[in-house]
């Protein structure tokens, strides 16, 4: 249970419209669980005091706990209360859960793992794209490379073209499930300041060279080379921006 002497959960009643109360409670409780204030195997405080602690009604709290259960963070049992589940039960793809995990991970290990999973997915899609791409699709990728090349000194425009290149590759592959997962992972990472880390002066030039290498393998239709090029690009790009004073998960080649 939450230690009464520990960090106080602030009331959210006065700073959220009624329809947002449930969302705010869910996000707050997810953060409480992810940060270990209530560890796996422990139970949340009873409904009445917890609702009072948040400054919300029991109805709002009850609905919020249901959302936690849907995310795999807790289980609710008659006479047992609300118990936090082991991390293996958590839905890591859930937006709120993954955002909280990234935000509170000082080691950057979650972003390391996210980058590896994303790299594997996009690498597989790059291989598929190398096999099925058309002349028109190659032209679209070539045009996007041109946009990147022309905006090396414009980070916002360059970044948008970078994202567009990846989107085109994934779309051409036709793997809608892999595309959806990879896109979701990237969006959660991109929303985090931890993901952006540092960008050395040569960052954009190197990123462009890696995209050109990916394009060359797709244009040549060499599936294995396309897979290797995309995987290496995503992992290397993350390692370039990753802050050096954090220890997390070392990517495997």
pLDDT tens digits along 84-105 = 999 999 999 999 999 999 999 9
Q: Structural domain boundaries of the chain?
A: 13-89, 107-241
Task: Tell me which of 11 and 97 has the higher pLDDT.
Answer: 97
Just give the CATH number of 13-89.
Answer: 1.10.10.10
User: Is the CB of residue 75 less than 8 Å from the CB of residue 35?
Assistant: no
- Output 19 or 85, whichever has higher pLDDT: 85
Q: Secondary structure of the chain in the HEC alphabet?
A: CCCCCCCCCCCCHHHCCHHHHHHHHHHHHHHHHHCCCCCCCCECCCHHHHHHHHCCCHHHHHHHHHHHHHCCCEEEECCCEEEECCHHHCCCCCHHHHHHHHHCCCCCHHHHHHHHHHHHHHHHHHHHHHHHCCHHHHHHHHHHHHHHHHCCCCHHHHHHHHHHHHHHHHHHHCCHHHHHHHHHHHHHHHCCHHHHCCCCCCHHHHHHHHHHHHHHHHHHCCHHHHHHHHHHHHHHHHHHHCCCCCCCCCCCC
For residue 44, pLDDT beyond 50: yes
What pLDDT, on a 0 to 100 scale, did the predictor assign at position 12? 54
Task: Tell which CATH architecture fits domain 107-241.
Answer: Up-down Bundle (1.20)
- What pLDDT, in 10s, does the model give residues 149-162? 999 999 999 999 99
The tens digit of pLDDT for each residue in 214-234 reads 999 999 999 999 999 999 999
Over residues 180-185, the mean pLDDT reads 97
Confidence band, pLDDT 50/70/90 cuts, at residue 18: low
How many angstroms from the chain centroid is the CA of residue 218? 26
Under a CB-based contact definition with an 8 Å cutoff, are residues 29 and 68 in contact?
yes
For the cut 80, the answer to whether the pLDDT of residue 20 exceeds it is no
- CA atoms of 209 and 25, how far apart (whole Å): 45
What residues does 77 pair with on adjacent strands? 81
């Amino acid at each position: 249970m939450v230690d009464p002497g520990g960090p106080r959960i602030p009331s959210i009643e006065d700073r959220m419209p009624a329809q947002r109360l449930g969302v705010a409670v869910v996000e707050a409780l997810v953060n409480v669980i992810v940060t270990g204030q209530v560890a796996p195997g422990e139970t949340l405080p009873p409904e009445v005091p917890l609702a009072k602690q948040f400054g919300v009604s029991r109805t709002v709290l009850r609905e919020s706990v249901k959302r936690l259960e849907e995310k795999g963070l807790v289980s609710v049992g008659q006479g047992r209360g609300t118990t936090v589940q082991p991390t293996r039960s958590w839905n890591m793809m859930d937006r709120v859960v993954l955002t909280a995990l990234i935000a509170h991970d000082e080691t950057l290990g979650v972003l390391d793992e996210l980058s590896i999973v994303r790299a594997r997915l996009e690498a597989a899609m790059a291989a598929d794209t190398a096999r099925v791409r058309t002349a028109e699709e190659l032209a679209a990728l070539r045009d996007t490379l041109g946009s990147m090349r022309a905006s090396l000194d414009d980070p916002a425009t360059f970044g948008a073209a970078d994202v567009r290149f990846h989107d085109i590759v994934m779309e051409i592959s036709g793997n809608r499930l892999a595309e959806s997962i990879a896109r979701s992972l990237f969006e959660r990472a991109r929303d985090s300041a931890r993901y952006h880390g540092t960008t050395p002066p040569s960052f954009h030039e190197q990123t462009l060279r890696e995209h050109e290498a990916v394009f060359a393998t797709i244009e040549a239709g060499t599936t294995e080379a396309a897979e290797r090029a995309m995987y290496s690009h995503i992992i290397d790009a993350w390692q370039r921006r990753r802050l050096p004073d954090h220890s997390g998960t070392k990517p495997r080649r």
